[in-house]
Amino acid sequence: MAGEERDGVPLTNLDQELFDGAGASKRDLVDYLDAVHERMVPALRDRPLSVIRVRPGQPPFMQKNLPKYTPDWVARADVWADRSRRMVSYGLCNDRRTLIWFANQRAVEYHPGLALHSDWTHPTHLIMDLDPPEGEPFRLAAQAALLVREVLSACGMAGAAKTSGAKGAHVFVPLADGPAHDDVAAATRAIAARAERLDPALATTAFIVEQREGKVFLDSTRAGGATVVSAYSPRLRPGVPVSFPVPWDALEAAVPTDYTVHTAAAALASGDPWAELMPPPQRLDPGLVEEGHTIPIARVVAMHEGKRRAREKRAES
């Protein structure tokens, strides 16, 4: 329909397929995000936002910097990027209008930062990403998430779980007293190590895929400048599933593909499960922080391993 708009945002090409194999149109994306905006915007508000967009006939791409044509009313935050040594102008998705604008830009996935732009050095959550082997059931990721829950409980801490919307699960632990990024990262490494020790046949902290031996990867690298897909965010996968909160006692039986842009809004008609399942902010356990600072950073270990392998290959040639 020509001239269609919502909340003052002109909408275009709504009846185009969202992407090849999506089983959903751009209208379906806009309708879904509009329907859940009251639940989703609180998870995005005041957080520098990266989105994954998809244009017809082009591969998907992650957008951090807002494009030059972004309306003036879209809030933004300038953040220095150490790796690229430049200032990045991130969008802040603080209201329905901005979310609809992103949807009209064919932004399918929403990956907010782990800290608020006003306090960028203190993450608000500790996050563990549970990544099962390719082709294995979600149940394995759920079982690994329950190991993380057991570790947290032993420390007097608690978290909430959601499907990633892809093949894994996420555990979020809200934090109090503004711990520094390096302490949160250390605590996350310690939680992963302890969970691995609880069931080494199920879970692994091995960063290099070839070393995981078909186990669930306890990814402790969601820290610092990392992002994680938001609760209720669609994913760029066939059927357009969404990342959806699940109570602990229902996690093993959950079927992530049950929650899509076609079905998830109806499941939210009676409330906001992400807000309801999330425990109050809590202090990091000092023992986790202390132990974690003795554990090497997984990405650094993998980098050195890659360099070692490269040297060996050169020596053999």
Domain count, the chain: 2
- Cα torsion at 247, 253, 258, 260 (round to 10°)? 40
Residue 253 lies in a domain: no
Are residues 156 and 294 located together in one domain of the fold? yes
Are residues 80 and 206 located together in one domain of the fold? no
Distance spanning both ends of the chain, measured CA to CA: 63
Are residues 177 and 139 located together in one domain of the fold? yes
Residue 108 lies in a domain: yes
Strands 169-174 and 86-92: unpaired
Are residues 106 and 13 located together in one domain of the fold? yes
Are residues 145 and 84 located together in one domain of the fold? no
Please tell me the predicted confidence (pLDDT) of residue 1: 45
Please tell me the predicted confidence (pLDDT) of residue 239: 96
Are residues 297 and 213 located together in one domain of the fold? yes
Contact 110, 229 (CB under 8 A): yes
Are residues 80 and 200 located together in one domain of the fold? no
Range of the domain at 131: 125-225+280-304
Residue 235 lies in a domain: no
Contact 37, 232 (CB under 8 A): no
Out of 52, 83, 112, pick the residue that ends a domain. 112
Q: What is the DSSP letter of 36?
A: T
pLDDT in tens, the chain (317 residues): 457 999 999 999 999 999 999 999 999 999 999 999 999 999 999 999 999 999 998 999 999 999 999 999 999 999 988 777 889 999 999 999 999 999 999 999 999 999 999 998 999 999 999 999 999 999 999 999 999 999 999 999 999 999 999 999 999 999 998 899 999 999 999 999 999 999 999 999 998 888 899 999 999 998 877 899 999 999 999 999 999 999 999 999 999 999 999 999 999 988 999 999 999 999 999 999 999 999 998 666 666 556 666 666 666 66
> Which pair of structure tokens corresponds to residue 50?
């990266």
Residue 311 lies in a domain: no
Residue 243 lies in a domain: no
Are residues 213 and 160 located together in one domain of the fold? yes
**Residue tagged 């992400």 (tokens):** 274
**Residue tagged 């800290």 (tokens):** 115
Are residues 97 and 146 located together in one domain of the fold? no
Out of 112, 146, 164, pick the residue that ends a domain. 112
Residue 274 lies in a domain: no
How many alpha carbons fall within 13 Å on the CB side of residue 46? Answer: 9
Please tell me the predicted confidence (pLDDT) of residue 270: 83
Please tell me the predicted confidence (pLDDT) of residue 210: 87
Burial class (CB in 10 A: 0-12, 13-18, 19+), 130: buried
Out of 56, 90, 112, pick the residue that ends a domain. 112
Residue 239 lies in a domain: no
Are residues 103 and 129 located together in one domain of the fold? no
Question: Which residue, 288, 298, 297, is CA-closest to 190?
Answer: 288
Residue 262 lies in a domain: no
In this structure, what CATH number is given to the domain that contains residue 186? Answer: 3.30.70.3300
Q: For the full predicted model, state whether its pTM sits above 0.85.
A: yes
Are residues 285 and 196 located together in one domain of the fold? yes
